[in-house]
Amino acid sequence: PRFWQGLTTQSREEGEIQVILMWEQGYDYTEVRTFGFLLDFWSAGVKECFIEIVSKRAMTRRLEEMRSKIADLSPTSCTLAEGKRLIEDALSVNTWRHVEPAVEFRNNRNLINQFILDAPNFGEDSGRTFVHPELEDQETLINFLGAWSMGDFGLAYDLLSPDSNIRNGLDRNEWIERHRAWFDEAKPARVELGFVHEREQAKSALWVPNPSVNKTSRKDVELGWSLELIDTQLAGTLREFPMASAINKETGRHWFWTSYTMVRQREGWRIQSIADEDVRLQGLPINELQRLIKEYEDAMDALIQRVQGGTQNDQTAFLEEASWRFTQMLHFYDALIAKLPLDRQIAEDAYGRSVLIGNPERSMVYLERLVQRFPDNRADLQRRLSATTAALAYNFINNGMAERGEALLARAEAVLRESLTIQDAATGHMLLGELLLSQDRLDEAEQELLRASELNPTPDEQASIEAGLGNIEMHRERMDAAIPHYRRVTELKPDYAGVWFSLGFAHRLLGDLDAAELDYQHAIQQDPNDIRPYSELTAIYMNKEEVEQARATIAQGTHANPDSAHLHALYASVLDVVGDKRAARRELAEAEAIDPNLEIVRSVHLQIYEPNSPNAPKRH
């Protein structure tokens, strides 16, 4: 046998690559022995493997089909040496991750060693990275960060320019091993990207013959990002490891701001150098940091003025600029806090900014500092900290991390209970009752809400207490007991979010459809963007055979909520029932364009197009 050709996908940036190595053999070399590998550089190593012998003609035809099917991965030829390198890289992942290679690889290890790994003549290795050649500068940078945070240090190294000081004088294997040692201790996880922003090139006072050359081959890009990790001394062995400007001690998330000099080379964009912006900020004087904050605030005010009444493009540009400006502003505040740790107003301002960007995990950092550093008004700060912690907990739970979410809920409860030892206030008991109710701890929640009622709550607080007591009774399926509580809420605070819907729902479950109808009408007036009362009211009218009322209600709902697949599907169902087939199909098409997998959308599709299906909804 003699090596015939190799083929690989240029998809290394995705953490996965396909490699096919082929030898021609047999009489007149009319057969091809093929070794195929799917290599995963994040966790599985040699993920899949196959070996087969086919005719050269069949293999040639198959290669043509393969090139067509995976054209988006830019398949390219590779030498035996390059294929061997890629396989060895993947095997090192198996060793490091303590994961066995694919069973087909293990079963054929002797043959693979003979033809590939121990081959005496494996040709030349050009050192190609097999990264997609059309990656833009920011895509390259984001792939570097993803690889670095997920342990694909081979790719991270390959995305550095040959002269990058981040390589620290180490060869590829040494660099990878050093970073894997850090990874094993630090256990980085769940990287989050805050912003990507290309800096304007500084204008040079010197004349250059062709300034466009430098502009297209060199860029400065900055990233705001965060990562969960355990602090370890091995971080000091990584030249590129930045200083965190803020750390959430509950979750281990660290926030960073780094800038990168990107250079375009033969294989594409590569990272030449990395700068730690937080270290730079620590070196600035206080008045300069304050000036930067004021400059950014003025820029945001001007941006808001420009976008008001502007086009969608203006709003998109606003969101992009607001993202990096607000995030960078938090880093300015972090540097100020480090210099003025006893200045409460700075921490309060930082907390306020973090609330604006909607990041409870970051807000917790500033609230924890306020609680620890400033004992006055501590109970109020703890209440805010508890509410923020609970919000983060439910973010985790909703994203499939129930264990972490439950731990944070326990932390939120402990903080609230501690606040009550400092100040036995209605607000604290009310918040604790709501937290317990969210966990279906009904008796405990009721006890806390009743205690809150005894402590002279404000009218707004009493409205929240009554709503909570009503919700408890609904959980107990005692609708008749819930109604007086909801009615009391409407008296105390008629615009209390969702109360009219809750009242209508309770009446509907009790069969009092006339009262429910009035409540749902109130709910729509209160919040036209809540789709629930439209659905409920439409159902009531359809059951009462008041078809025109149903049609008018659901039309009103879709007009107020044009992006609701649920309402468009319900409208389609109503139109189908009244016989307006063309309009029904039009509304269903709207629903399917928004969310074709929504249950009601699929159900109405069957109703309209397959009415005899056993799964189609029954007509009334």
Q: With respect to residue 70, please indicate whether it lies within any of the assigned structural domains.
A: yes
Is the model's pLDDT at 321 over the cut of 90?
Answer: no
pLDDT for 313: 65
Last residue of a domain, which of 65, 84, 117?
A: 117
Is the model's pLDDT at 35 over the cut of 50?
Answer: yes
pLDDT for 384: 96
pLDDT band at 204 (very low <50, low <70, confident <90, very high): very low
Q: Which of 124-133, 206-215, 261-270, 485-494 has the highest mean pLDDT?
A: 485-494
Strands (E), 102-200: 189-198
How does pLDDT run across 507-556, given as a tens digit for each residue? 999 999 999 999 999 999 999 999 999 999 999 999 999 999 999 999 99
Round to whole Å and give the CA distance between 363 and 356: 10
pLDDT for 213: 44
264 strand-pairing partners:
269
Residues 57 and 147 in one domain: no
Q: With respect to residue 463, please indicate whether it lies within any of the assigned structural domains.
A: no
- Residue 375 or 271, more confident: 271
* CATH number of the domain residue 190 falls in: 3.10.450.100
Q: With respect to residue 130, please indicate whether it lies within any of the assigned structural domains.
A: no
Angle between helices 360-373 and 378-398 (to 10 degrees): 160
Last residue of a domain, which of 89, 117, 145?
A: 117
pLDDT for 411: 97
Q: With respect to residue 495, please indicate whether it lies within any of the assigned structural domains.
A: no
pLDDT band at 70 (very low <50, low <70, confident <90, very high): confident
CA 363, 366, 371, 375 dihedral sign is negative
Residues 563 and 611 in one domain: yes
Is the model's pLDDT at 468 over the cut of 60?
Answer: yes
Round to whole Å and give the CA distance between 485 and 471: 9
* CATH number of the domain residue 548 falls in: 1.25.40.10
Give the range among 60-74, 170-184, 270-284, 426-440 with minimum mean pLDDT: 60-74
Q: How much is the mean pLDDT over the chain? A: 92
Token pair for 75: 């398949």
Closest CA relative to residue 577, chosen from 538, 527, 530: 538
pLDDT for 615: 60
Number of domains making up the chain: 3
Q: With respect to residue 619, please indicate whether it lies within any of the assigned structural domains.
A: yes
CA distances from 208 to 60, 204, 213, 263 (A): 52, 9, 10, 18
CA distances from 388 to 230, 350, 452 (A): 23, 15, 21
pLDDT band at 303 (very low <50, low <70, confident <90, very high): confident
pLDDT for 207: 47
Token pair for 285: 């004087």
Whether the Cβ atoms of residue 576 and residue 540 lie closer than 8 Å to each other: no
Residues 100 and 147 in one domain: no
Round to whole Å and give the CA distance between 359 and 573: 40
pLDDT for 41: 96
pLDDT band at 451 (very low <50, low <70, confident <90, very high): very high
Percent pLDDT > 70 in the chain is 95
Residues 16 and 89 in one domain: yes
Q: How many helices (H) and strands (E) does the chain have?
A: 26, 10
Q: With respect to residue 319, please indicate whether it lies within any of the assigned structural domains.
A: no
Closest CA relative to residue 155, chosen from 130, 177, 133, 138: 130
Q: With respect to residue 344, please indicate whether it lies within any of the assigned structural domains.
A: no
Token pair for 257: 């701001």
Q: Which structural domain range is residue 88 located in? A: 2-117
pLDDT for 267: 84
Whether the Cβ atoms of residue 449 and residue 422 lie closer than 8 Å to each other: no
Last residue of a domain, which of 245, 265, 282?
A: 282
Is the model's pLDDT at 614 over the cut of 90?
Answer: no
Residues 95 and 166 in one domain: no
Give the range among 27-41, 103-117, 205-219, 604-618 with minimum mean pLDDT: 205-219
Residues 72 and 7 in one domain: yes
Residues 18 and 147 in one domain: no
Q: With respect to residue 448, please indicate whether it lies within any of the assigned structural domains.
A: no
Residues 149 and 267 in one domain: yes
Backbone φ and ψ of 331, nearest 5°? -70, -35
Residues 196 and 80 in one domain: no
Residues 562 and 598 in one domain: yes
pLDDT for 426: 96
Is the model's pLDDT at 613 over the cut of 90?
Answer: no
What mean pLDDT is predicted for residues 70-97? 91
Give the angle subtended at the CA of 386 by the CAs of 384 and 390, to the nearest 5°: 120
pLDDT band at 212 (very low <50, low <70, confident <90, very high): very low
Residues 141 and 267 in one domain: yes
Is the model's pLDDT at 562 over the cut of 90?
Answer: yes
Residues 110 and 145 in one domain: no
How does pLDDT run across 108-147, given as a tens digit for each residue? 999 999 999 998 877 888 889 999 888 999 999 999 999 9
Round to whole Å and give the CA distance between 18 and 20: 7
Whether the Cβ atoms of residue 43 and residue 97 lie closer than 8 Å to each other: yes
Percent pLDDT > 90 in the chain is 82
CA distances from 121 to 29, 85, 126 (A): 19, 14, 15
